[in-house]
């Protein structure tokens, strides 16, 4: 019997249609109730590019998460009579591999009724013939209403911004930033603990980040957003393998500290875990056309001494640093994080193409 026949005869061709709720697929209604709608903060995102997590302030974040929770709590609510992004066209330009970011942006846009044109491979666009990103951007102005760009060059987004007259979202530029991933990370934390939305939360959280802030775009953007919400953070513990010459980019630590984050470093993962409420782990940094794995000795599995109730976040794709033995535990919020990214991106896209009027309760 060939492998596929064997798999089918063993019952592997069926699946459970319901997602596993224990994995942090927490209901967003508590988050929705905890934030009062303030439309103007969403309107302030119109006619602006999103290149960096540093562009957001706390009020905008809260309102984005509120709208994301509204979409997540009731996905069918805004589908009639006209979907919020109907008539709008997204240019999805991914010059570097992606599973989650591209598909969740495209899923978000489709769910809101928009249409999409895509570039998924550098070799199929004019860039392969030496065309500049600024010239490509000039063309994008004619073809769509919003651009989502992933590129391995740090300056790619700013190059395009020079010519764009439609908004662009940075979906990961080299080792620099991944702002919408950080939005998804923070949205997950607030769904897990809506009490953290208070101005001065009673029970602040300790966050362990396994990664290199100077080399990992997801870590850089997350730290920047955490700095906007420093009142909920007791401390951030940066866990690394001691091999990186520069843990922080110039000025990075100073800026985060000035914003109120208490940051320390450790090379002892096992010793740090029992204290951490949130463990954020990432091992990949994109560098030019490839990726580097960092901190290969820093791994989590079912025997890791996690605090009871602690959640694990990971931007994914995962490698050996995050064992699948954790998937069926209550620590797994990384699947919820990837799922929630769709709703966060729906919220952001709605703002950027000025369709918030169609989804607000109070205008
Ligand atoms: N989190 C993330 O950026 O995943 P992808 O590389 O699959 O988009």
Say which CATH number the domain at 247 has. 3.40.50.1370
Q: Mean pLDDT throughout 154-182? A: 96
Position 252 scores a pLDDT of: 98
Whether 7 is in a domain gets the answer no
Q: How far does residue 335's CA lie from ligand 1's centre (Å)?
A: 13
Structure tokens at 329: 């535990």
Q: What integer best gives the mean pLDDT of the chain? A: 92
Position 20 scores a pLDDT of: 53
The share of the chain scoring above pLDDT 70, in percent, equals: 94
Categorize the per-residue pLDDT at 123 as very low, low, confident or very high, splitting at 50, 70 and 90: confident
Q: Mean pLDDT throughout 222-231? A: 97
Categorize the per-residue pLDDT at 17 as very low, low, confident or very high, splitting at 50, 70 and 90: confident
Give residues (CB < 6 A) around ligand 1. 98-101, 172, 178, 181, 315-317
Q: Is the pLDDT of residue 278 over 90?
A: yes
Q: How far does residue 38's CA lie from ligand 1's centre (Å)?
A: 31
Categorize the per-residue pLDDT at 75 as very low, low, confident or very high, splitting at 50, 70 and 90: confident
Ramachandran sector of residue 130 (left: φ over 0; alpha: ψ -120 to 50; beta: rest): left
Query: Which is the closest atom of ligand 1 to the Cα of 96?
Result: 6
Whether 12 is in a domain gets the answer no
Residue nearest to atom 1 of ligand 1 (CA): 315
Whether 130 is in a domain gets the answer yes
Q: Is the pLDDT of residue 23 over 60?
A: no
Whether 15 is in a domain gets the answer no
Q: Mean pLDDT throughout 25-41? A: 87
Residue nearest to atom 5 of ligand 1 (CA): 98
Query: Which is the closest atom of ligand 1 to the Cα of 99?
Result: 7
Q: Mean pLDDT throughout 194-205? A: 95
Categorize the per-residue pLDDT at 294 as very low, low, confident or very high, splitting at 50, 70 and 90: confident
Whether 232 is in a domain gets the answer yes
Position 363 scores a pLDDT of: 67
Query: Which is the closest atom of ligand 1 to the Cα of 315?
Result: 1
Q: Ligand 1, residues 92, 95, 101, 218: which to mutate, most atoms within 8 A of Cβ?
A: 101
Categorize the per-residue pLDDT at 115 as very low, low, confident or very high, splitting at 50, 70 and 90: very high
Q: How far does residue 98's CA lie from ligand 1's centre (Å)?
A: 5
Query: Which is the closest atom of ligand 1 to the Cα of 102?
Result: 8
Whether 280 is in a domain gets the answer yes
Tell me the sheet residues that pair with 208.
Answer: 237, 279
Position 237 scores a pLDDT of: 98
Q: Mean pLDDT throughout 95-122? A: 95
Q: How far does residue 165's CA lie from ligand 1's centre (Å)?
A: 27
Position 26 scores a pLDDT of: 62
Whether 2 is in a domain gets the answer no
Q: Mean pLDDT throughout 205-228? A: 97
Domain that holds residue 198: 20-354
Q: Phi, psi (5° rounding) for residue 265? A: -125, 155
Domain count, the chain: 1
What does the pLDDT look like over 305-320, one tens digit per residue? 999 999 999 999 999 9
Q: How far does residue 198's CA lie from ligand 1's centre (Å)?
A: 30
Q: Is the pLDDT of residue 21 over 60?
A: no
Q: Mean pLDDT throughout 104-109? A: 97
In this predicted structure, which of 14-23, 103-112, 124-133, 305-314 has the lowest mean pLDDT? 14-23
Whether 10 is in a domain gets the answer no
Q: Ligand 1, residues 96, 99, 314, 339: which to mutate, most atoms within 8 A of Cβ?
A: 99
């Amino acid at each position: 019997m060939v492998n596929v026949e064997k798999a089918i005869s063993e019952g592997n061709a069926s699946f459970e249609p319901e997602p596993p709720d224990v994995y942090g697929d927490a209901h967003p209604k508590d988050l929705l109730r905890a934030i009062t709608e303030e439309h103007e903060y969403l309107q302030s995102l119109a006619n602006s590019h999103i290149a960096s997590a540093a562009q957001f302030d706390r009020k905008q974040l809260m309102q984005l998460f509120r709208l994301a929770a509204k979409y997540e709590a009731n996905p069918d609510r805004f589908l009639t009579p006209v979907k919020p992004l109907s008539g709008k066209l997204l240019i999805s330009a991914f010059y570097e591999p992606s599973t989650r970011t591209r598909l969740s942006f495209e899923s978000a846009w489709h769910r809101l009724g928009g249409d999409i044109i895509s570039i998924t491979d550098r070799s199929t666009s004019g860039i392969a013939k030496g065309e500049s990103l600024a010239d490509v951007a000039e063309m994008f102005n004619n073809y769509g209403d919003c651009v989502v760009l992933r590129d391995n060059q740090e300056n790619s987004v700013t190059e395009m911004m020079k010519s764009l007259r439609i908004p662009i979202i940075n979906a990961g530029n080299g080792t620099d930033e991944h702002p919408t991933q950080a939005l998804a990370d923070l949205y997950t934390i607030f769904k897990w603990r809506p009490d953290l939305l208070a101005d001065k939360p009673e029970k602040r959280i300790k966050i362990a980040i396994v990664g290199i802030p100077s080399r990992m775009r997801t870590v850089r953007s997350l730290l920047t957003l955490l700095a906007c919400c420093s009142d909920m953070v007791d401390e951030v513990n940066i866990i690394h393998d001691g091999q990186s010459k520069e843990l922080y980019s110039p000025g990075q630590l100073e800026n985060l500290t000035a914003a109120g984050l208490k940051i320390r470093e450790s090379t002892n993962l096992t010793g740090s875990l029992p204290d951490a409420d949130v463990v954020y782990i990432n091992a990949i940094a994109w560098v030019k056309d490839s990726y580097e794995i960092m901190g290969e000795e820093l791994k989590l599995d079912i025997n890791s001494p996690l605090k009871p109730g602690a959640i694990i976040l990971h931007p994914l794709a995962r490698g050996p640093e995050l064992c699948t033995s954790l998937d069926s535990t209550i620590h797994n919020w990384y699947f919820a994080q990837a799922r929630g990214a769709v709703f966060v991106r729906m919220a952001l896209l709605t703002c950027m193409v000025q369709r918030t009027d169609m989804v607000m309760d109070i205008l």
